C-alpha cells in the first residue's frame, strides 16, 4: 500500500511511495509525531537522478526487514534536495561538522525529535557489510541505542553543533577596508595550480565542470585553461556523443566515464561557455537535447534525467560492439570505430563502450584516405542510426518538476547564446519559459521555487530570485520588454526587502517569513550551481547602473564587504562573488540605445556586431516604450537612433554614430 509520499509533487519522493518504509515528507505533522513519540528522526535526503540514492533504496528501503526496523525505531522523513535546498544545505553542513568530511547523496542524518539537531550522520550505508562499512540495520540499532542510553552525551554534542551552525553566520564581519582585487589574483593563482594541463579541469578525479570558475577566467581575459577544458570535455564521455547534452561529472581524469545523470543546471551553465569558446556545434547539440527531452509543453524546462535505466547505471547510453556493427554499413563502421573508440577495449566497466572522440575526424579522414567531407557525412549517418536505435531502449527516468532557479539559469544561458551567436530565433525558447514562470511561479508579487503541473510549491529561495533577475537582464539585451524590466525591479526589491541581512550585509538563503529551521544559511561559495549571493550582487550592480538606482548598488557593495573575508580565505570557491567584485572594481560598460523601429535596431546591431557581450551590456530600447524607470526616462530618442554609454556612474555624452560607440567600447 502506498505511503504518504504517493501524493507528493517530487518524482524523487514518489519513487519511494511503494516502499515498506513508513515515510513522511518534511512537514509539521511528521515533526509533531517525533516529539509526541519521543522518537529520533531518520532524515534521508537525495534526488531522482542520483545513482547511489537508487542503490540504497533498492537494497534497504525496498527491503521489508530493514523497513520494519526503521519504522519501529524512527520517524522516517524523505526529502528531495532539489525542492528543499534549505534543508540540504543545513544538514550537509551538520554532516561535515559531525564526520569531519564532505557529504553527498544520499545523505542519511539522525535528528533529535525536539530540536531537530543532527547527532549522527552519514551518506550511503550498504545493506550488508561492504566497502569497510557496517550494515545499515546495525547502524539503525546502534544509533537508536545511543539516543536511548546516552542522552546526556547527545545533548552535549547537540549544543556544540548548534553553536557551530550559529557561528557560521553570526561570526562573519563585513570589512570596512578598501575592496581590492587581491582575492581575484589569489583565485587566478589557485586556478593555475589546480589546472590539469593535459585533460583540462582540476587535476585528478572525479572531474566536475567548474563553470563559475571558467566564467571568471573569461571575464579576466584568461581563456586558455577554459578552451582546453571545454575541448577535452566535448571529446569525452561526459558529453553524450550520440544525443547531445552533458552528464553531471566524470569518475576519471579524462572526462571519459561519467555518472550518467543529466542535470538541467549543468547544461544551462555549459551552453554559453561553449558558445563563447567558439564551439557552436556543441552548443547546438545542448539546445537540441533541451528542446527534444527537457522542454515541457508549458514552456518550462524539466529538471533531470536519471543515471539509471532498468536499475543499471548508464545502460541507456553504452554499447556492445556487435550492436554497432549490426546497425552500420562497413563504410560507416570504418569511421565510427576509429572516431568513437569502438575499435579499442571496452571503457565502461570492462564490458561495454561509452562513445568518446577517440580520434579527431580530420585524423580519421587521413587514416582512411578519404575526404573530410565524406568522413563527416558517414559519421552523421551513423550517428543518426545509433540515435534511432538507442531511442528504442528503456529510457532513464525523467524528473519532470520545474524548478524556478534552474529554469532561470537555462533562460540566461539561452539568452547569452542568442547574443553571441547572433541568433534571435533562440529567444523563443527562452521567452516561452519566462512566460511560464511569470504566469505560474510568480503569484501576488511572490516567487515560488517549484512547479508541478499548474501547482506552485514552496516559497522561493535566494537562488530563485537572484538567478531570475540575472536571466531577465540577459533577455532584455536580446529584445526589450517592459514587463521584464518591471519584473526585474520587483525581484530586486524583494531581494532587498525579504532576503538581505541589513545588519551585516549579504543575502540569506531563505526569506524573512520562511519556515524557522535550525539555521538560516547565508552561502557565499559556489556549489554545483553558482552562489546566489554572487549572482545577486552582480545582477544588482547591472540593474542599478542601468536605471540609476543607488539602493541596488549599495546592497551589492554591502554583499561584497560581507563576503570579502570568505573571498580571501577560499577565493576559487567564490568565483561568482569574484565576478561581482571585478564588476564593482572595474564597472562594465552599459549602453542604452534608443531606436525608433526594427530598421534602426538592425542598423545599430550590424554596426556593433564585433562588440563582444563581455565588453558591454547593450539594450535596444524602442522609442514607444512609454515612461521608463530612473535615468532611462531622461534618455530621449533622436532621429537615426542615439546611444547613452556609461561605465559605472560615469557617462559619455549621447552618441548618434554606431561606429563611434563600437570604437569607444573597443578601447
Find the range with the poorest average confidence among 273-282, 528-537, 601-610: 601-610
**pLDDT higher than threshold 70 for residue 1:** no
What pLDDT band is residue 238 in, cutting at 50, 70 and 90? very high
**pLDDT higher than threshold 90 for residue 439:** yes
**Per-residue pLDDT averaged across 593-618, rounded?**
90
Q: What is the pLDDT of residues 480-522, one digit of tens each?
A: 999 999 999 999 999 999 999 999 999 999 999 999 999 999 9
Find the range with the poorest average confidence among 19-33, 104-118, 168-182, 411-425: 168-182
Q: What is the pLDDT of residues 48-64, one digit of tens each?
A: 999 999 999 999 999 99
| Residues 450, 306 contacting (CB under 8 angstroms) | no
**pLDDT higher than threshold 80 for residue 453:** no
**pLDDT higher than threshold 90 for residue 215:** yes
Find the range with the poorest average confidence among 89-93, 541-545, 600-604: 600-604
Segments making up each domain of the chain, as ranges: 4-170, 182-399, 587-667
**pLDDT higher than threshold 90 for residue 667:** no
Cα-Cα end-to-end distance for the chain: 69
**Residue 387 has what pLDDT?**
98
User: 176-189 in b/e burial notation, b at 16+ Cβ within 10 A?
Assistant: eeeeeeebbebbbe
Q: Give CA–CA dist 456/29, Å, rounded.
A: 21
Which CATH architecture is the domain 4-170 placed in?
A: 3-Layer(aba) Sandwich (3.40)
Q: Return the ∠ at Cα 525 (arms to 522 and 529), rounded to 5°.
A: 100
Q: What is the DSSP letter of 103?
A: -
What pLDDT band is residue 610 in, cutting at 50, 70 and 90? confident
Q: What is the pLDDT of residues 115-134, one digit of tens each?
A: 999 999 999 999 999 888 89
**Per-residue pLDDT averaged across 189-197, rounded?**
98
Of the CA atoms within 13 Å of residue 588, those in its CB half-sphere come to: 25
| Best CA proximity match to 481, nearest among 316, 337, 625 | 625
Please name every residue paired with 655 in a beta bridge, in sequence order, or none if there are none.
643
Please name every residue paired with 621 in a beta bridge, in sequence order, or none if there are none.
594
Q: Give CA–CA dist 317/308, Å, rounded.
A: 10
Q: What is the DSSP letter of 207?
A: B
| Residues 354, 257 contacting (CB under 8 angstroms) | yes
**Residue 288 has what pLDDT?**
97
Q: Give CA–CA dist 110/44, Å, rounded.
A: 9
| Residues 583, 541 contacting (CB under 8 angstroms) | yes
As a three-state string, the secondary structure of 530-569 is CCHHHHHHHHHHHHHHHHCCHHHHHHHHHHHHHHHHHHHH
**Residue 239 has what pLDDT?**
98
Same fold across 4-170 and 587-667: yes
**pLDDT higher than threshold 90 for residue 479:** yes
Residues 6+ apart with CB under 8 A from 352: 314, 318, 319, 320, 346
What pLDDT band is residue 173 in, cutting at 50, 70 and 90? confident
Q: What is the pLDDT of residues 342-382, one digit of tens each?
A: 999 999 999 999 999 999 999 999 999 999 999 999 999 99
**Residue 90 has what pLDDT?**
98
Taking residue 246's Cβ as centre, other Cβ atoms within 10 Å add up to: 27
Q: What is the DSSP letter of 4?
A: G
Q: Say whether the peptide bond before residue 106 is cis (omega within 30 degrees of 0).
A: yes
Residues 6+ apart with CB under 8 A from 598: none
Question: Which of helix, strand or coil describes residue 152?
Answer: helix
Q: Which CATH number fits domain 587-667: 3.90.1690, 3.10.20, 3.30.70, 3.40.30?
A: 3.40.30
pTM (2 d.p.): 0.97
Using CA atoms of 334, 337, 343, 349 in order, give the dihedral in degrees to the nearest 10: -160
**Residue 172 has what pLDDT?**
76
Mean pLDDT of the chain: 96
**Residue 452 has what pLDDT?**
85
Amino acid at each position: 500500500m502506498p505511503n504518504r509520499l504517493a501524493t507528493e509533487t517530487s518524482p524523487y519522493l514518489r519513487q519511494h511511495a511503494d516502499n515498506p518504509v513508513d515515510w513522511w515528507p518534511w512537514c509539521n505533522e511528521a515533526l509533531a509525531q517525533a516529539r509526541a513519540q519521543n522518537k529520533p528522526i531518520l532524515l534521508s535526503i537525495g534526488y531522482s537522478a542520483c545513482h547511489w540514492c537508487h542503490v540504497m533504496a533498492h537494497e534497504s528501503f525496498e527491503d521489508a526487514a530493514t523497513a520494519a526496523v526503521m519504522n519501529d525505531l524512527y520517524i522516517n522523513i524523505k526529502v528531495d534536495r532539489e525542492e528543499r535546498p534549505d534543508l540540504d544545505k543545513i544538514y550537509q553542513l551538520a554532516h561535515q561538522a559531525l564526520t569531519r568530511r564532505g557529504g553527498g547523496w544520499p545523505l542519511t542524518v539522525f535528528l533529535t525529535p525536539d530540536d531537530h539537531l543532527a547527532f549522527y550522520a552519514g551518506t550511503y550505508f550498504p545493506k550488508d557489510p561492504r566497502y569497510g562499512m557496517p550494515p545499515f540495520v546495525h547502524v539503525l540499532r546502534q544509533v537508536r541505542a545511543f539516543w536511548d542510553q546516552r542522552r546526556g552525551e547527545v545533548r552535549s554534542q547537540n549544543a556544540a553543533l548548534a553553536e557551530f551552525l550559529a557561528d557560521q553566520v553570526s561570526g562573519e564581519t563585513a570589512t570596512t577596508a578598501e575592496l581590492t582585487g587581491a582575492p581575484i589574483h589569489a583565485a587566478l593563482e589557485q586556478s593555475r595550480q589546480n589546472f590539469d594541463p593535459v585533460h583540462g579541469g582540476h587535476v585528478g578525479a572525479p572531474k566536475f565542470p567548474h563553470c563559475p570558475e571558467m566564467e571568471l577566467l573569461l571575464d579576466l581575459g584568461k581563456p586558455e585553461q577554459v578552451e582546453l577544458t571545454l575541448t577535452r570535455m566535448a571529446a569525452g564521455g561526459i558529453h553524450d556523443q550520440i544525443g547531445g547534452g552533458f552528464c553531471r561529472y566524470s569518475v576519471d581524469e579524462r572526462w571519459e566515464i561519467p555518472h550518467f545523470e543529466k542535470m538541467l543546471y549543468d547544461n544551462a551553465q555549459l551552453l554559453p561557455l561553449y558558445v563563447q569558446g567558439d564551439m557552436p556545434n556543441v552548443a547546438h547539440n545542448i539546445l537540441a537535447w533541451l528542446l527534444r527531452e527537457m522542454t515541457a509543453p508549458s514552456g518550462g524546462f524539466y529538471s533531470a534525467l536519471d543515471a539509471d535505466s532498468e536499475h543499471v547505471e548508464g545502460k541507456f547510453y553504452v554499447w556492445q560492439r556487435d550492436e554497432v556493427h549490426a546497425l552500420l554499413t562497413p563504410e560507416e563502421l570504418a569511421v565510427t570505430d576509429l572516431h568513437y573508440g569502438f575499435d579499442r577495449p571496452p571503457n565502461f566497466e570492462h564490458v561495454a563502450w561509452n562513445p568518446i572522440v577517440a580520434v579527431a575526424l580530420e585524423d580519421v579522414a587521413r587514416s582512411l584516405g578519404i575526404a573530410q567531407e565524406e568522413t563527416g557525412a558517414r559519421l552523421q549517418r551513423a550517428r543518426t542510426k545509433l540515435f534511432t536505435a538507442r531511442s528504442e531502449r528503456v529510457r532513464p527516468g525523467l524528473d519532470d518538476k520545474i524548478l524556478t532557479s534552474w529554469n532561470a539559469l537555462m533562460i540566461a544561458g539561452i539568452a547569452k547564446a542568442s547574443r553571441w551567436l547572433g541568433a534571435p530565433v533562440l529567444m523563443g525558447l527562452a521567452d516561452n519559459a519566462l512566460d511560464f514562470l511569470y504566469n505560474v511561479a510568480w503569484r501576488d508579487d511572490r516567487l515560488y521555487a517549484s512547479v508541478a503541473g499548474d501547482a506552485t510549491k514552496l516559497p522561493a529561495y535566494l537562488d530563485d530570485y537572484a538567478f531570475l533577475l540575472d536571466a531577465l537582464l540577459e533577455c532584455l539585451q536580446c529584445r526589450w520588454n517592459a514587463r521584464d524590466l518591471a519584473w526585474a525591479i520587483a525581484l530586486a526589491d524583494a531581494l532587498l526587502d525579504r532576503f538581505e541581512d541589513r545588519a551585516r550585509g549579504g543575502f540569506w538563503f531563505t526569506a524573512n517569513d520562511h519556515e524557522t529551521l535550525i539555521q538560516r544559511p547565508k552561502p557565499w561559495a559556489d556549489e554545483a550551481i553558482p552562489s546566489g549571493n554572487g549572482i545577486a550582487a552582480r545582477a544588482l550592480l547591472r540593474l542599478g547602473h542601468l536605471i540609476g538606482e543607488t539602493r541596488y548598488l549599495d546592497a551589492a557593495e554591502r554583499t561584497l564587504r560581507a563576503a570579502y573575508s570568505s573571498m580571501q580565505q577560499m577565493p576559487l570557491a567564490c568565483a561568482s562573488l569574484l565576478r561581482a567584485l571585478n564588476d564593482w572594481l572595474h564597472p562594465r560598460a552599459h549602453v542604452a540605445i534608443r531606436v525608433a523601429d526594427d530598421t534602426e535596431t538592425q542598423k545599430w546591431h550590424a554596426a556593433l556586431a564585433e562588440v563582444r557581450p563581455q565588453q558591454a551590456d547593450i539594450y535596444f530600447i524602442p522609442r514607444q516604450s512609454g515612461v521608463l524607470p530612473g535615468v532611462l526616462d531622461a534618455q530621449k530618442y533622436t532621429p537615426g537612433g542615439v546611444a547613452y554609454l556609461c561605465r559605472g556612474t560615469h557617462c559619455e555624452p549621447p552618441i548618434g554614430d554606431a561606429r563611434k560607440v563600437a570604437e569607444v567600447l573597443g578601447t
